[in-house]
Amino acid sequence: MGPTTKSQGSSLPSPSKPRLLIIGTGWAGWTPNPHHNHPLPLPNSGPYPSLASAACGIFDFRIAEEPVRRLKNAGKVVKYKVHVSSVDLGKRVVRCRAAVGSNGDARLIGSSEALDSGLSDDGEEGEFELGYDKLILAPGSETNTFGTPGVLDHCLTMKSVQDAMKLRERILDCFELASLPIYSEARKKEILHFIIVGGGPTEVELAAEIDELVHDHLLKIYPDLKGMVTLSVYDVADRMLGQFGEKLSEYAMEKFRRRNVRVCMDRKIEGFESGVMKVKEDGNVRFGTAVWCAGNKATGLVDELKTRKGGGAMERVFTDRWLRVLKPEGAKGQGEQHFEDAYALGDAADIEGQSHPPTAEVALQKAEWLAKHLNDVENGKDMGGEFNFDQKPLVAYIGRKDGVVDGGGEWTGKGAWLAWRSGNLEWTRNWRRRAMILLV
């Protein structure tokens, strides 16, 4: 028999060691675990799954929970599936709400949200507090619609494994529907119009994925629909992959055009209605599936946090170079600038005075640095050096064994793809999308 928890309320494992509480199980929140000797209570603030096991090919509906749970056998990790509604950085208390079953986030519980079997009758009981000695804030980010009307009602998004599963279902639904003998050819073409909004690496790789799925698989299963599928990428920017060099960007756009992917840049999207995207330059564009991945914004938790913040389009928690959360502007000049024992990283955080992009690469480097740092401090070593970001090459897969790599020389074509495949290049955040699509 394993241990049985008899106590209630905010009890956590053995208080003989500091209680480290991590909010988030994405790239940033997950990494410190295996490196750390502390007992690790691990609330999960929302749909930010760790994709470690996806990378290894061990896919599961419950990708977010099972790998984390399994750690429990190895160490003293306690994991709660909750929404974190607030954090009191002074009193060191986190307020949580159950995020499972009928109380929870529909995105996390899949298709069982409609079932009412008494898991929802606990009312305010669902709220509880957790104390901590050290806190790691890594709640990630949310989809930003920039106020565009209709996005959340008529578009899919790509922030979670569940989103990727929905997209796959949706694509197949469109092929099934277009197969019925009730539509004109024109209507079939509308149903088989797939739109991706956003021209960054994630969107470009998603377009490449859909292009391959359609041509390598679906058109073989639905041969009658050949010639009726259109894939379009829309963005407000004037070119795809803006953060890559101009030459690489042109290379990718030219490759897409040659495959009959419509590359529609410099477009202002004014809104969505049922099956229709309104574009200032093009008028009404009809579609069967639209995926909105045009931007990220801070989570509600970050909005509520009383810390120093900044970061332009997406508000981010500011930390110092030791990743310690900084007190609000008003606290300047009044003793320590940072909260004690509170760290932040991932999309939700940035270092004041620096400006790192919200990518998995940055999150992973910070997480590895922080795990080592916390263990060093725990073991009585000195604080060591501050965090320094090591810029790796930018990688984007553009489909059909072709890719672009920026940094350390510009690579294109099969060489770029092989370089990634051979493990010479680091995973980028964008590859998580790829892993998800392929595996679901």
| Contact status, residue 273 vs residue 279, Cβ threshold 8 Å | no
Smaller CB separation from a second copy, 7 or 16: 7
Smaller CB separation from a second copy, 153 or 382: 153
DSSP string spanning 323-349? Answer: -EEEPPGGGTTSS-SEEEEEEE-STTE
Least Cβ distance, residue 171 to a second copy (angstroms): 10
How far does Cα 299 stand from its chain's mean position?
12
Least Cβ distance, residue 143 to a second copy (angstroms): 14
Smaller CB separation from a second copy, 48 or 244: 48
Least Cβ distance, residue 270 to a second copy (angstroms): 17
Alpha-carbon distances, residue 336 vs 89, 123, 152, 343, 378 (angstroms)? 14, 40, 42, 15, 21
Smaller CB separation from a second copy, 170 or 239: 170
Smaller CB separation from a second copy, 192 or 298: 192
Least Cβ distance, residue 177 to a second copy (angstroms): 5
Smaller CB separation from a second copy, 89 or 440: 440
At 17, give phi and psi (nearest 5°): -110, 155
Cα 118 to Cα 186: distance, rounded to the nearest angstrom: 48
- DSSP character at residue 14: -
Residues 6 or more apart whose Cβ sits within 8 Å of residue 353: none
What stretch of H or E contains 185? helix 185-191
Smaller CB separation from a second copy, 38 or 79: 79
Handedness of CA 314, 318, 320, 322 (dihedral sign): negative
| Contact status, residue 76 vs residue 39, Cβ threshold 8 Å | yes
Least Cβ distance, residue 64 to a second copy (angstroms): 10
Least Cβ distance, residue 137 to a second copy (angstroms): 21
Smaller CB separation from a second copy, 66 or 281: 66
Residues 6 or more apart whose Cβ sits within 8 Å of residue 422: none
Least Cβ distance, residue 85 to a second copy (angstroms): 14
Secondary structure (3-state) at 126 = helix
Secondary structure (3-state) at 43 = strand
Name the strands in the sheet holding 127-131, side by side, starting at the edge strand that comes first in the sequence.
40-44, 77-88, 93-98, 127-131
Least Cβ distance, residue 358 to a second copy (angstroms): 26
